[in-house]
Amino acid sequence: MSEYKVIGKDIPRYDAFYKATGSAQYIGDITFPGMLFGKVLRSPHPHAEILNLDVSKAEKLPGVLAVTHAGKCPYKMGLYLVDRPVFATGKVRFMGEPVAAVAAISEDIAQEALDLIEVEYKELDYTDTIEEALNGEKTLVHPDLINYEYLPIYYPKKDTNIFNHFKLRKGDVEEGFKNADLIFENEFRLPQIQHVPMEPHGAIARWEQNGKLTVYSSAQSPFTLRNLIAYAFKLSHKDVRVIVPYVGGGFGGKAGINMEPLVVALSNEIKGKWIRLIFSREEVFLGTTVRQGLRARVKTGVTKAGRIISEEIEYVFDGGAYAEYGTNVVRAAGYTCPGPYDIENIKGDTYGVYTNHLVGGAFRGFGHGELHWAIESQMDIIAHELKMDPAEFRRLNVLKPGSINSMGEEITEHTGNMIECINQVADALDWKNRKKKDKTLPKNIKRGMGLAVLEKAPAMPTNATSAAVIKFNEDATVGLQFSGMEIGQGCITALTQIAAERLKMSFDKIQPSGLPDTDFSPYEWQTVASRITWATGNAIINAVDLAHIKIKEIASQVLEVDPVDLEVDGEKVFIKNDPSKNIPLPKIIMGYQYPDGHTIGGPIQATGTFTPYLTNLDEKTGQGHAAADWTFGCEGAEVEVDTDTGEMKILQLLGAFDLGTVINPSTARGQVIGGIIQGLGSAVLEELKYKDGKLQNASFVDYKILTAADIPDKVESIFVQTPDEGGPFGARAIGEHPMISIPPALANAIFDAIGVRIKDLPLTSENILKHIKDKKKK
C-alpha cells in the first residue's frame, strides 16, 4: 500500500457525506414557487371490478388543477414483468391500489377533491393465501398474464397465478434419497413485512411544454427509475431527468419504480407546474412494496455420519397483486435455494404467485432472509436428530474450497471462509460451554444458544454496469463522480477511500460527487444488492488507471521515456528508477506548457466502467454463472425464555462475516449492527396481518417495530478477511447480509433453551407460549 494508505482506516462517514452533498435536502423539504400538491384515491377492496368512476365534482372544485386516472393515463410499468398499471384499469387487485389522483393548490383542497370522487365497485372473490394462489380455482389475479411483456429469463405459467417458476437441478436427487440413511421433511413460513424507512416515499415532478420531464425522487436507483418512467410513458430517455436528494432509508423499498408514475401522470395534465406527492405513513404501508411472504418445504437426505447427500426444496413466495421486483426475488432465491451447503444432488422449485395482498418486491436480503429461515432451521433440526453439535454439522457440510455450489460454480480459496465465520461465532458465544446450567436462574427461565450460517451474492442482470469519473482540478485535487446512492450505508466515504488509495493521494484532496442527476452524473445500474462498494469501487479503480495512463502519455514526451517506465502518485509523475526526474502534477494535469509557451495534452479526466462477468442460467437446470461476488457469514444468539409466559430475553446477538478487505471498519461495523437489529425486528415483531383480504395494521399503532429499549445489551460484529480477487483492494459486499440469519439463529436458540421448534415467524411471546403449550399436550 502507498504512504497515503486509507484502506482500512476509520474515516468518519459524515466527513465525506457532507462534503459531497452540501446543503441538499430531503424530498419532503423541497419546495418550488407555485408548487401543487398531489393526493391519491385508493381502493378499499382487495379485488373488485370498477363499474363506474366519476371525477366531475373533483374537477370542478376551486383550487383543483388536475385530475387523472386510467382513462387519461393508460400506461403500465414493471421492471422485469410489465404487469402493473399506473392506475387500476377495469378492476382493482389489492386494498390500496391507486384509482385516481388529484393536484391542487393545497393538500387540504386535494383531499377534499378526493372525497368528491365517486367510484362504484363490484366486489370479486379474492386470493388470500399461497394455497389459494397455487390452486387458482378461486380466482386468477391476472388472467392475461402470459400475454404480458417479460424478460426471457423469467417463466410465468399460462392460466395460473404463477408469475415465475425457477428450476434448479443438480445431480440426481432421487438417487441421492435412495442412498440416504435418514430423510427429514419440514415446512416453514414467514409473513409479508414492511421496510419501514424513516423517510416516507415522495416525488416531485414537472413536465415542461417542450416535453422535458424532471422528477425529484427519494429513490435508490435514479437511472433505473428514469428507464422505467421512459418505458412506461413512451418517452425518450433524453427527455426524462431524475434528481435524487437525500434518501432517508431504503432497504430495497425505494429501488426500481414505486409511486413516481402517479405524480408524473398528474404533471402530464398540467404542464409547467411542479407537483409534489409525499406519502403518509399509512400510504407507505398500502401504496409501496413489501417483503414477500413465503411457504418453504424442505426435504433433506443425510448419512448417519451427518453428510447431506440430497435435498429437494420448494419455495412459494406470496408476491402480492403485482410481480414488481418479486420476479427476480424468485430467481435469486431459486439459484441459492440450498443456502451455503455442499450438496451433490439438489432439486429446487421456486415459485412466485399472485395474491390480492400488497405488492411484494425487493427487501434487504432479496429472498435470502426468507430462504435461510427455512434452511437454517432445517439444518438445526437434522443436527439435533443426529445428536450432532449444530456447529460441527455445519462445518462438515458448508461450502469450502473445491466445493461446487448449487449453480455449478466452483468455490475457491478466494471465495470466502465459511468455517472461520462459524468458529468465530462459536468462540464469541462460548459455544462449547452452552450446556452448562446456570443454577442461579429461576426454574421457569431457560437459557439457550443458536447459530445460523448464510451466503449471498449481488442479484444482478448480466448487464449491471457501473461508471465513475475522475476529474483533476488545476491544483491537482480531484473531483470524483459516481451515482451510487448514499442511503445510510456510508458508500460515499468508502468509495472516496478507494479512489484515494488508487490515486496515492490523501483523502482530503478528493471531492466526491453530490447526489445523482441523470442528466449529468455517470451511469449506475442500481444501488441495490450490496454491490456499490464492490462494483462502483472497481469502476473507480479503472477510472484512476485510465487517468494515470493519460498523465504518463504526456509525461513520457516531456521526460523522453517510455510510459511504462513512469509512475504516478498524488504529487507528481516520475521515472521509476530515478524519482528525482519528475513533473509535479499541477504542471501537467491541464496540459504541459513548454518554456516557449506551446502546450501538449489537456485536462486529465477519465471515465471508468465495470461490468461483472455473469451469464444467464439454464432454463431447465438453473446452472450457470449468476453470481460474481459471494459473502459468507455466520450469526449467533443467546437467549433466555420464560416458560410460563413465552417471553424471550435476548442476551446477545453477533455476526461474523468474510467481507474480504475491510475498507472502513467503523462503517462496516455500523452496517452489521444495523442489519442485525433489523433482522431482530423481522424475527420477533413484524408481520403484515390480513383479514378478509384487507390489511389490518397499516400504521405503527398496530404494526410494531423495535425501539431503543428492545436492543440487546451485547451486539457484536466480527470480520474475517479473505481478500476477494475481483473486489477493489480485495473487498466484497456486506450491506444486506447481517439481517439474513438472525431469525433462524434465534429460533435455534429457543429450541436449545426449551426444546420447542418454531417453524413460523414472528417469534413473539404469544407464538412461543403457544408452542410450549402444544408441546405439553403431546
pLDDT digits (tens, 9 = 90+) for 669-687: 999 999 999 999 999 999 9
Supply the pLDDT for residue 438: 82
What span, in angstroms and rounded, lies between the C-alpha atoms of 439 and 169?
Answer: 50
pLDDT digits (tens, 9 = 90+) for 649-665: 999 999 999 999 999 99
What span, in angstroms and rounded, lies between the C-alpha atoms of 335 and 218?
Answer: 31
Flag whether pLDDT at 157 surpasses 70. Answer: yes
Flag whether pLDDT at 724 surpasses 80. Answer: yes
**What band does 95 get if pLDDT is binned at 50, 70 and 90?**
very high
The whole-angstrom distance between residue 472's C-alpha and the CA centroid of its chain comes to: 33
Q: Buried b / exposed e across 665-691, counting CB within 10 Å, b at 16+?
A: eebbbbbbbbbbbbbbbbbbbbbbebe
Least Cα distance to 164 among 305, 306, 318 occurs for 318
C-alpha cell at 338: 440450498
What span, in angstroms and rounded, lies between the C-alpha atoms of 493 and 3?
Answer: 19
Flag whether pLDDT at 761 surpasses 60. Answer: yes
Flag whether pLDDT at 418 surpasses 70. Answer: yes
Q: Buried b / exposed e across 86-100, counting CB within 10 Å, b at 16+?
A: bbbbebbbbbbbbbb
Supply the pLDDT for residue 659: 95
Flag whether pLDDT at 199 surpasses 80. Answer: yes
Flag whether pLDDT at 567 surpasses 90. Answer: yes
List Cβ<8 Å contacts ≥24 apart for 134-138: 134/161, 134/162, 134/316, 134/351, 134/353, 136/160, 136/161
What span, in angstroms and rounded, lies between the C-alpha atoms of 529 and 459?
Answer: 6
Mean pLDDT for 422-442 is 93
pTM of the shown model: 0.96
Distances (CA, A) of 453 to 287, 365, 423, 640: 34, 14, 11, 21
| Strands, sheet with 36-42, edge to edge from the N-terminal-most edge strand | 64-69, 98-104, 36-42, 275-278, 202-207, 213-217, 240-243
Distances (CA, A) of 16 to 340, 493, 533, 677: 36, 5, 15, 25
pLDDT digits (tens, 9 = 90+) for 467-490: 999 999 999 999 999 999 999 899
C-alpha cell at 148: 404480458
Supply the pLDDT for residue 23: 58
Least Cα distance to 361 among 337, 335, 332, 329 occurs for 329
Peptide bond into 762 cis (omega under 30): yes
Flag whether pLDDT at 242 surpasses 60. Answer: yes
Contact by Cβ (8 Å): 731, 662: yes
Site of grid cell 471498519: 665
Supply the pLDDT for residue 18: 60
Question: Which H helix or E strand runs over 452?
Answer: strand 445-456
Site of grid cell 409466559: 645
Flag whether pLDDT at 2 surpasses 60. Answer: no
Mean pLDDT, all residues of the chain: 96
Percentage of the chain beyond pLDDT 70 is 98
pLDDT digits (tens, 9 = 90+) for 512-556: 987 899 999 999 999 999 999 999 999 999 999 999 999 999 999
Please state which of the ranges 4-18, 223-237, 595-609 shows the lowest mean pLDDT.
4-18
Supply the pLDDT for residue 704: 95
Supply the pLDDT for residue 1: 33
